[in-house]
Amino acid sequence: MKKVLIIGAGPVGLTTGRLLAEEGYQVDLFERRDHIGGNCFDYHSAAGLLCHKYGPHYFRTNSDELLAWLSQFSDWIPANYHVRAKVQDKFVPLPISLATVEALKGRTFSVEEFEHYLAQERVAIEHPQNAEEQCLATVGRELYEAIFKGYTEKQWGISAKELLPSITARIPLRFNRDIRYPSEKHQVMPAQGYTYLFKNMADHSRLSIKLNQEFCLSDVRAVESAYEFVICSGQLDQFFEYQKGKLPYRSLRFEEKISESEFVQENVQINYPNDFDYTRTVEIKHVTGQQHPLTSVVYEYAQAEGEAFYPILSLESLALCDQYRELARQEERAQCPIYFLGRLAEYRYFNMDHVFLRSIKLVNQLLNKEIVKV
Ligand code: UDP
């Protein structure tokens, strides 16, 4: 029987693993943590509250095909992904829209007035080279300083001038009053949680998962003769045993406060660009749809050390990343190829749906047929 080795039981590992198992492969999946689901992992606390262990995960996608494919493993509930930033004593909706300037300035704005305001505030920078320039060119200095500057520097631990413009360009600018944080067509949560969805994906007789098992290049070398190919979704530098040095990843620390009330915040996420050491507070119950007498608010602090959550995309880190990408390209061409996929292995800031889609596309490509049309 054809065998494949997969490293990491998050969205990449479970999507590719599931599809390959269905296509007749024996899949050996190794996960370094003691649970599946990667950073999407959620669980019920001792009090029965559904918690997102590694920060909030907001599923959204424009792909009908992806949602249909995932629907084999879960039902969905509609989700209100509403985010507000605390600016002085005001809670203003994000992303920036008419509703944001109206809340900030305490008066209504027409589209023309908003355009006029932006035209005055924007700094003329044709090709922004960093996140600060991207904000100045898009929303102008006042909104940059009120909403982006402090948050970005806390979140990444470096100046916005050192970060790639694509980081803040994730946040759209809207000329309407749509206060949903994402813009995608489908904004939903798995009805019973992410772990439930991933458990169902993992439930296949040819998919075998071993937890608490780290896998790096030398471990692959020791077993690769048994496998047709390998898919790696682990941290890129760690996989190559830090041959070229450490790639910067940003980590997070979470502090949870449980309250005996239905809700504490108005909405799921509040960002703090200018106050406090934490970046945001998240009350996930707003989007899990759980009915419970208690609620939990998680205070998120960004930090350098700890589990990797985000690649820190700067010119400096990309130069080092290029050296790892060259190693990765060599492995893709090897006799037992290793394919690198996902946020940590590709060192890219993907949303969840991008990761699912890339995983499906990789399997389609490797098997040279459209198993799932996406
Ligand atoms: N950002 C910001 N202020 C905010 C929200 C976002 O400055 O209130 C910037 C910040 O640099 C952040 C990036 O935009 O890292 C992307 O934000 P997103 O909400 O997509 O971050 P994630 O939810 O992935 O942590």
pLDDT digits 0-9 by tens, 90-129: 999 999 999 999 999 999 999 999 999 999 999 999 999 9
Q: Which pTM value belongs to this model? A: 0.97
Looking at residue 1, what is its pLDDT? 84
Tokens representing residue 14 in the block: 């479970």
Q: Report the SS3 class of residue 1.
A: coil
pLDDT in tens, 274-322: 999 999 999 999 999 999 999 999 999 999 999 999 999 999 999 999 9
- List C-alpha distances in Å: 318 to 53, 63, 124: 29, 29, 26
| Chain position carrying tokens 């909403």 | 147
The CA 145 to ligand 1 mean position distance, Å, reads 14
pLDDT in tens, 24-59: 999 999 999 999 999 999 999 999 999 999 999 999
Query: Ligand 1 atom closest to Cα of 160?
Result: 11
Residue 327 has pLDDT above 90, yes or no: yes
Residue 331 has pLDDT above 90, yes or no: yes
CA distance 340 to 328: 7
The CA 76 to ligand 1 mean position distance, Å, reads 25
Ligand 1 surroundings by CB, under 6 angstroms: 85, 94, 147-148, 151-152, 155, 167-168, 170-171, 271, 273
Residue 66 has pLDDT above 90, yes or no: yes
Which of 138, 158, 170, 252 best tests ligand 1's pocket when mutated (most atoms within 8 Å of CB)? Answer: 170
186 and 67 in contact (C-beta within 8 Å)? yes
Mean pLDDT of the chain: 98
Nearest CA to ligand 1 atom 11: 152
| Phi, psi for 250 (deg, rounded to 5) | -95, 140
Q: What is the pLDDT averaged over residues 259-277?
A: 98
* C-alpha torsion sign, points 149, 150, 156, 157: positive
Which of 151, 162, 163 best tests ligand 1's pocket when mutated (most atoms within 8 Å of CB)? Answer: 151
Share of the chain above pLDDT 90, in %: 100
Looking at residue 32, what is its pLDDT? 97
Bridge partners, residue 209, by sequence? 29
Q: What is the pLDDT averaged over residues 71-79?
A: 98
12 and 233 in contact (C-beta within 8 Å)? yes
pLDDT in tens, 147-191: 999 999 999 999 999 999 999 999 999 999 999 999 999 999 999
Domains and CATH numbers, the chain: 3-75+192-245+313-367 (3.40.50.720), 97-169 (no CATH)
Residue 238 has pLDDT above 90, yes or no: yes
Per-residue H/E/C for 22-91: HCCCEEEEECCCCCCCHHHCEEECCCCCEEECCCCCCCEECCHHHHHHHCCCCCEEECCCCEEEEECCEE
The conformation of residue 162, written as its DSSP 8-state character, comes to G
